[in-house]
Amino acid sequence: MLAVVPPPVTVRVPSKVNLHLAVGDVRPDGYHELNTVFQALSLTDEVTVAVTDEPGVEVVGEGQDEVPTGPSNLAWQAVQALAEHVGKDHTEPKIRVVIRKGIPVAGGMAGGSADAAAALVGLAALWRLDIGRDELLTVAAKVGSDVPFVLQGGTALGTGRGENLIPVLTRHTFHWVIAFDRRGLSTPKVFEELDRLRAEGDPPRIGAVEPVLEALASGDPRQLALLLGNDLQSAAISLRPGLRRTLRAGVNAGALAGTVSGSGPTCAFLCADGESALRVAAELAGAGVCRTVRVAHGPVPGARVIGGDESP
């Protein structure tokens, strides 16, 4: 008897921007203690998971040549982690993961983590697993510290390495302009640079998180703009001094405020509304300070199935 091959599953997954990223000191395990507010943005990747005769990972789109397709691909690691968790063999039947990237690679927007979250949701649907979101979040945290957030989406307060999440309710939509840099930055190198700067002279640290949560509750982008803060920004600028010019150009173009997203080098500009974001994006694109400009809004939902399709 022939086995029935399930149809491929496609999942859309958001990127993230950190509205607040406070970096504590290095812990004994080598990681830094973080206190962060994430927001999921409409700049997305799409990941298709399928049963196939040609197992492995294929990457197309934004930065495709910089993404590994072997075992180090985070989406593939997620496939392995979920198979192990439920005691299934992902090599029989064989699994293929096709990633369509819109999120900049090594950009500080959790692109790899997003693909891992999408692979978890896609594989769970493909295998029709009886697995709840909480259990999936536990597997996600094992794959990487940003994976639970992009799985969950919305806006959330993250602690630990960013994997312990408390949802932040906000009924408002915020409008962003995203500036991609010409090359990525390595997250571990940016943390090392922050340690070096702190050893040299203790650069100022960002303020408390509570006012950020109040601004989110008010929904006023002007209030939130005054409070955007990222302890990694000085380190990212130290490694990539041109970011200072990019941040200035976004504000000159009419954004309320700009911030380096996570470990950078992508810069995110908060705008007053959707129309203003379009105007800022057009002007920034002509300023010659970045490779690509996109508009996005947030918060948006986390990784979710957008439908089966016929071809892997």
User: How crowded is the C-beta side of 161, counted as CA atoms within 13 Å?
Assistant: 16
**Which residues lie below 8 Å from residue 98, measured CB to CB, with a gap of 6+?**
47, 48, 50, 57, 58, 59, 60, 312
| Known catalytic membership, residue 16 | yes
Nearest distance, CB of residue 266 and ligand ATP, angstroms? 8
Among candidate residues 16, 101, 181, 231, the one labeled active-site is 16
Cβ-based nearer residue to ligand ATP, 42 or 263? 263
What is the residue-wise DSSP string for 251-272? HHTT-SEEEE-TTSS-EEEEES
Stretch that binds ligand ATP, among 30-38, 98-106, 252-260, 287-295 (CB under 6 A): 98-106
Nearest distance, CB of residue 182 and ligand ATP, angstroms? 15
**Which residues lie below 8 Å from residue 179, measured CB to CB, with a gap of 6+?**
246, 250, 266, 267, 268, 269, 284, 289, 290, 292, 293
Q: Is 112 in the site for ligand ATP (CB under 6 A)?
A: yes
Per-residue binding letters, 137-166, with ligand ATP (x by CB under 6 A): ---------x--------------------
**Which residues lie below 8 Å from residue 149, measured CB to CB, with a gap of 6+?**
16, 38, 40, 110, 113, 156, 158, 162, 163, 165, 302
* Touching ligand ATP, residues 256-285 (CB under 6 A): 262-263
Cβ-based nearer residue to ligand ATP, 146 or 231? 146
What is the residue-wise DSSP string for 13-24? EEEEEEEEEEEE
Q: Which position among 36, 44, 48, 113 is part of the footprint of ligand ATP (CB under 6 A)?
A: 113
Among candidate residues 45, 101, 115, 146, the one labeled active-site is 146
Q: Which position among 34, 67, 215, 277 is part of the footprint of ligand ATP (CB under 6 A)?
A: 67
Q: Which position among 138, 187, 223, 234 is part of the footprint of ligand ATP (CB under 6 A)?
A: 187
Number of residues that bind ligand ATP (CB under 6 A): 23
Q: Which position among 8, 14, 111, 154 is part of the footprint of ligand ATP (CB under 6 A)?
A: 111
Q: Which position among 9, 23, 79, 110 is part of the footprint of ligand ATP (CB under 6 A)?
A: 110
Nearest distance, CB of residue 106 and ligand ATP, angstroms? 4
Cβ-based nearer residue to ligand ATP, 188 or 201? 188
CA–CA separation, 186 and 182 (whole Å)? 14
Phi, psi (rounded to 5 degrees) for 193: -65, -40
63: part of which helix (H) or strand (E)? none
Cβ-based nearer residue to ligand ATP, 158 or 221? 158
Burial (0-12, 13-18, 19+ Cβ within 10 Å), 217? middle
CA–CA separation, 265 and 89 (whole Å)? 38
**Residue, CB closest to ligand ATP:** 112
Q: Dihedral sign for Cα 27, 235, 188, 153, please.
A: positive
* Touching ligand ATP, residues 42-61 (CB under 6 A): none
Q: Is 73 in the site for ligand ATP (CB under 6 A)?
A: yes
Write out the catalytic residue numbers.
16, 146
**Residues of this chain that bind ligand ATP (CB under 6 A):** 66-68, 72-75, 99, 105-113, 115, 146, 184, 187, 262-263
